[in-house]
Structure 1
Amino acid sequence: MTARPEPDHLATASAPAGQPLAGLRVAEWSRSIAGGYAGRMLRDAGAHVTRVGAPGVSLPRPALAAYLHSGKDERPGTLAEVAALAADVVILELPDAPDDEFLAGFGDAAVVVITPWGLRGPWAGAGRPWSELTIQAESGSLSMRGLPDRPPLMTGSSEGLWITGAMAAAAAVAAVQGGRAHRLVDAPVLEVTAYATNLFQDIGASLAGASPATPPARHRLNPSVEPAADGWVGFNLASAQNHEDFLVLIERPDWLADPQMTSHAGRYQRYDEFTAAVRSWTRRHTVAEIVEQAAAFRIPCAPVHNGRTILADPHLVDRGFYQPNALDPGLLEPAPPFLFDGVRPRRGQEPPPTGAAATSAAAAADGPDDALPFAGLRVLDLGTWWVGGYVGTALGALGADVLKVESTRRVDGARLAGLVPATQDHWWECGVFYLGGNSDKRGITVDFSVAAGRDLLARLIADADVLIENYSPRVLESVGLDWDAVHAINPRLVMLRMPAFGLTGPRRSMVGYAQTVEQFSGLCWRTGYPDADPHNPSGPADPMAAANSLFALASALLAARRTGAGTLVESPLAEAALVMASEQVLAWTADGVLLERLGNRDAVAAPQGVFPTAEPDRWVALTVADDGQWRALAALSGLEGWADDPGLATADGRRARADELEARLAAWTAGQERGALVDRLLAAGIPAGEVRDGRFVHDHPHLAARGSYQPFELPWAGTVPLPRLPVRAASGGWAHRRRPPTLGEHNAEVLGGELGLDEALLAELAAGGVLGTVPRGVT
Structure 2
Amino acid sequence: MAGLRVAEWSRSIAGGYAGRTLHDAGAHVTRLGDPGAPSPRPALRGYLHLGKVDQPGTLADVASLAADIVILELPDAPDEEFLAGFGDAAVVVITPWGLRGPWAGTGRPWSELTIQAESGSLAMRGLPGRPPLMTGSSEGLWVTGTMAAAAAVAAVQGGRAHRLVDAPLLEVTAYATNLFQDVGASITGVSPATPPSRNRLNPSVEPAADGWVGFNLASAQNHEDFVVLIERADWLGDPQMTTHVGRYQRYEEFTAAVRAWTRRHTVAEVVEQASAFRIPCAPVHNGRTILADPHIVDRGFYQPNAHDPGFLEPAPPFLFDGVRPRRDKEPPPGARAVTEAGTEPRAVTEAGTEPRTVTEAGTEAGAEAGAGVPDDALPFAGLRVLDLGTWWVGGFVGTALGALGADVLKVESTRRVDGARLVGPAPATQDHWWEQGAFYLGGNSGKRGVTVDFSVPAGRELLARLIAGADVLIENYSPRVLESAGLDWDAVHQLNPRLVMLRMPAFGLTGPRRSMVGYAQTVEQFSGLCWRTGYPDADPHNPSGPADPMAAANSLFALSSALFTARRTGRGMLVESPLAEAALVMASEQVLAWTSEGALLERLGNRDAVAAPQGVFPTAEPDRWIALTVADDQQWRALATLMDPGRRAGADPELATADGRRARADDLEKRIAAWTAGQEREALVERLLAAGIPAGEARDGRFIHDHPHLAARGFYQLVELPWPGAIPLPLLPVRAASGGWAHRRRPPTLGEHNAEVLGAELGLDETRLAELAADGVIGTVPLGV
TM normalised by structure 2 equals 0.96
Determine the C-alpha separation between the residues in 1 that align with 2:558 and 2:80: 30
Determine the C-alpha separation between the residues in 1 that align with 2:723 and 2:620: 40
Question: Does the aligned pair in 2 maintain the 1:176–1:361 contact within 8 Å?
Answer: no
What corresponds to 2:522 in structure 1? 516
Task: Name the SS for the 1:603 alignment partner.
Answer: coil
In structure 2, the CA distance between the partners of 1:59 and 1:545, relative to structure 1 (3 Å rule), is farther
- Superposed CA deviations along residues 140-182 of structure 1, whole A, max 9, x for unmatched, are 0011100011000000000000000000000000000000000
Determine the C-alpha separation between the residues in 2 that align with 1:668 and 1:59: 32
1:689 aligns with 2:669: no
Alignment match of 2:492 (pick from 477, 481, 486) = 486
Alpha-carbon shift at residue 264 of structure 1 (Å): 1.4
What corresponds to 2:285 in structure 1? 305
In structure 2, the CA distance between the partners of 1:642 and 1:81, relative to structure 1 (3 Å rule), is closer
Question: Does the aligned pair in 2 maintain the 1:307–1:594 contact within 8 Å?
Answer: yes
Question: Does the aligned pair in 2 maintain the 1:642–1:648 contact within 8 Å?
Answer: no
Question: Does the aligned pair in 1 maintain the 2:356–2:365 contact within 8 Å?
Answer: no
Kindly, what percent of the aligned residue pairs are identical?
Answer: 85
Determine the C-alpha separation between the residues in 2 that align with 1:538 and 1:290: 22
What corresponds to 1:655 in structure 2? 662
Alignment match of 1:623 (pick from 626, 629, 633) = 629
Question: Does the aligned pair in 1 maintain the 2:279–2:517 contact within 8 Å?
Answer: yes
Alignment match of 1:372 (pick from 360, 369, 378) = 378
What corresponds to 1:280 in structure 2? 260
Alignment match of 2:26 (pick from 46, 59, 63) = 46
Alpha-carbon shift at residue 586 of structure 1 (Å): 0.3
Alpha-carbon shift at residue 364 of structure 1 (Å): 2.0
Where do residues 419-430 of structure 1 align in structure 2 (5 Å cutoff)?
Answer: 419-430=425-436
Task: Name the SS for the 1:50 alignment partner.
Answer: strand
Question: Which letter does structure 2 place at the counterpart of 1:577?
Answer: A
What corresponds to 1:771 in structure 2? 778
Determine the C-alpha separation between the residues in 2 that align with 1:568 and 1:113: 30
Question: Does the aligned pair in 1 maintain the 2:641–2:648 contact within 8 Å?
Answer: no
Determine the C-alpha separation between the residues in 1 that align with 2:467 and 2:368: 31
Alignment match of 1:335 (pick from 315, 323, 327) = 315
Question: Does the aligned pair in 2 maintain the 1:382–1:404 contact within 8 Å?
Answer: yes
Question: Does the aligned pair in 1 maintain the 2:5–2:28 contact within 8 Å?
Answer: yes
Determine the C-alpha separation between the residues in 1 that align with 2:773 and 2:115: 49
Determine the C-alpha separation between the residues in 1 that align with 2:728 and 2:82: 34
Determine the C-alpha separation between the residues in 1 that align with 2:138 and 2:559: 25
Alignment match of 1:95 (pick from 75, 99, 103) = 75
What corresponds to 1:392 in structure 2? 398
Alignment match of 1:753 (pick from 754, 760, 773) = 760
Task: Name the SS for the 2:206 alignment partner.
Answer: strand
- Superposed CA deviations along residues 658-695 of structure 1, whole A, max 9, x for unmatched, are 00000000000000000000000000000000000000
Where do residues 549-698 of structure 1 align in structure 2 (5 Å cutoff)?
Answer: 549-638=555-644, 643-698=650-705
Question: Which letter does structure 2 place at the counterpart of 1:36?
Answer: G
Alpha-carbon shift at residue 531 of structure 1 (Å): 0.2
Question: Which letter does structure 2 place at the counterpart of 1:473?
Answer: P
Question: Does the aligned pair in 1 maintain the 2:471–2:498 contact within 8 Å?
Answer: yes
What corresponds to 1:7 in structure 2? none
Where do residues 224-373 of structure 1 align in structure 2 (5 Å cutoff)?
Answer: 224-348=204-328, 352=347, 354-357=355-358, 359-360=365-366, 363-373=369-379
Question: Does the aligned pair in 1 maintain the 2:532–2:601 contact within 8 Å?
Answer: yes
Alignment match of 2:42 (pick from 58, 62, 82) = 62
Question: Does the aligned pair in 1 maintain the 2:2–2:365 contact within 8 Å?
Answer: no
Cα-Cα RMSD: 1.0
What corresponds to 2:178 in structure 1? 198
1:497 aligns with 2:503: yes
- Superposed CA deviations along residues 442-482 of structure 1, whole A, max 9, x for unmatched, are 00000000000000000000000000000000000001000
Determine the C-alpha separation between the residues in 2 that align with 1:595 and 1:429: 43
Determine the C-alpha separation between the residues in 1 that align with 2:308 and 2:161: 42
Question: Does the aligned pair in 2 maintain the 1:609–1:621 contact within 8 Å?
Answer: yes
Determine the C-alpha separation between the residues in 2 that align with 1:517 and 1:422: 29
Question: Does the aligned pair in 1 maintain the 2:607–2:614 contact within 8 Å?
Answer: yes
Is 29-38 or 347-356 further displaced after alignment? 347-356
Question: Which letter does structure 2 place at the counterpart of 1:528?
Answer: G
Alpha-carbon shift at residue 263 of structure 1 (Å): 1.3
Determine the C-alpha separation between the residues in 1 that align with 2:290 and 2:191: 43
Task: Name the SS for the 2:369 alignment partner.
Answer: helix
Determine the C-alpha separation between the residues in 2 that align with 1:421 and 1:641: 59
What corresponds to 2:187 in structure 1? 207
In structure 2, the CA distance between the partners of 1:363 and 1:334, relative to structure 1 (3 Å rule), is closer
What corresponds to 1:173 in structure 2? 153
Alignment match of 2:113 (pick from 123, 133, 138) = 133
Question: Which letter does structure 2 place at the counterpart of 1:417?
Answer: V
Question: Which letter does structure 1 place at the counterpart of 2:619?
Answer: T
Alpha-carbon shift at residue 219 of structure 1 (Å): 1.0
What corresponds to 1:435 in structure 2? 441
Alignment match of 1:74 (pick from 30, 45, 54) = 54
Instruction: Could you tell me which runs of 5 or more consecutive residues in structure 1 were left unpaired when the two chains were aligned.
Output: 1-20
Where do residues 4-43 of structure 1 align in structure 2 (5 Å cutoff)?
Answer: 21-43=1-23
What corresponds to 1:8 in structure 2? none
Determine the C-alpha separation between the residues in 2 that align with 1:257 and 1:499: 32
Task: Name the SS for the 2:236 alignment partner.
Answer: helix
Question: Does the aligned pair in 1 maintain the 2:527–2:587 contact within 8 Å?
Answer: yes
What corresponds to 2:548 in structure 1? 542
Question: Which letter does structure 2 place at the counterpart of 1:196?
Answer: A
Alpha-carbon shift at residue 258 of structure 1 (Å): 1.1
Determine the C-alpha separation between the residues in 2 that align with 1:174 and 1:60: 29
Alpha-carbon shift at residue 360 of structure 1 (Å): 3.9
Determine the C-alpha separation between the residues in 1 that align with 2:26 and 2:648: 56
Question: Does the aligned pair in 1 maintain the 2:357–2:365 contact within 8 Å?
Answer: no
- Superposed CA deviations along residues 226-245 of structure 1, whole A, max 9, x for unmatched, are 00000000000000000000
In structure 2, the CA distance between the partners of 1:341 and 1:362, relative to structure 1 (3 Å rule), is closer
Give the number of aligned pairs. Answer: 758
Alpha-carbon shift at residue 55 of structure 1 (Å): 3.1
Question: Does the aligned pair in 2 maintain the 1:33–1:59 contact within 8 Å?
Answer: no
Alpha-carbon shift at residue 281 of structure 1 (Å): 0.4
Question: Which letter does structure 2 place at the counterpart of 1:622?
Answer: L
Determine the C-alpha separation between the residues in 2 that align with 1:239 and 1:642: 56
- Superposed CA deviations along residues 729-753 of structure 1, whole A, max 9, x for unmatched, are 0000001110000000000000000
Alpha-carbon shift at residue 52 of structure 1 (Å): 1.0
TM normalised by structure 1 equals 0.96
Alpha-carbon shift at residue 260 of structure 1 (Å): 1.4
1:416 aligns with 2:417: no
Task: Name the SS for the 1:306 alignment partner.
Answer: coil
Question: Does the aligned pair in 2 maintain the 1:139–1:190 contact within 8 Å?
Answer: yes
Question: Which letter does structure 2 place at the counterpart of 1:476?
Answer: L
Question: Does the aligned pair in 2 maintain the 1:177–1:361 contact within 8 Å?
Answer: no
Question: Does the aligned pair in 1 maintain the 2:638–2:649 contact within 8 Å?
Answer: no
Determine the C-alpha separation between the residues in 1 that align with 2:249 and 2:161: 53
Determine the C-alpha separation between the residues in 2 that align with 1:322 and 1:144: 33
Determine the C-alpha separation between the residues in 2 that align with 1:283 and 1:723: 42
What corresponds to 2:134 in structure 1? 154
Alpha-carbon shift at residue 195 of structure 1 (Å): 0.2
Determine the C-alpha separation between the residues in 2 that align with 1:359 and 1:665: 57
Alpha-carbon shift at residue 363 of structure 1 (Å): 3.4
Determine the C-alpha separation between the residues in 2 that align with 1:369 and 1:362: 14
Is 342-351 or 229-238 further displaced after alignment? 342-351
Task: Name the SS for the 1:257 alignment partner.
Answer: coil
Determine the C-alpha separation between the residues in 1 that align with 2:567 and 2:86: 24
Determine the C-alpha separation between the residues in 2 that align with 1:355 and 1:573: 31
What corresponds to 1:469 in structure 2? 475
Alpha-carbon shift at residue 26 of structure 1 (Å): 0.1
Question: Does the aligned pair in 2 maintain the 1:178–1:374 contact within 8 Å?
Answer: yes
Determine the C-alpha separation between the residues in 2 that align with 1:55 and 1:119: 22
Alpha-carbon shift at residue 367 of structure 1 (Å): 2.0
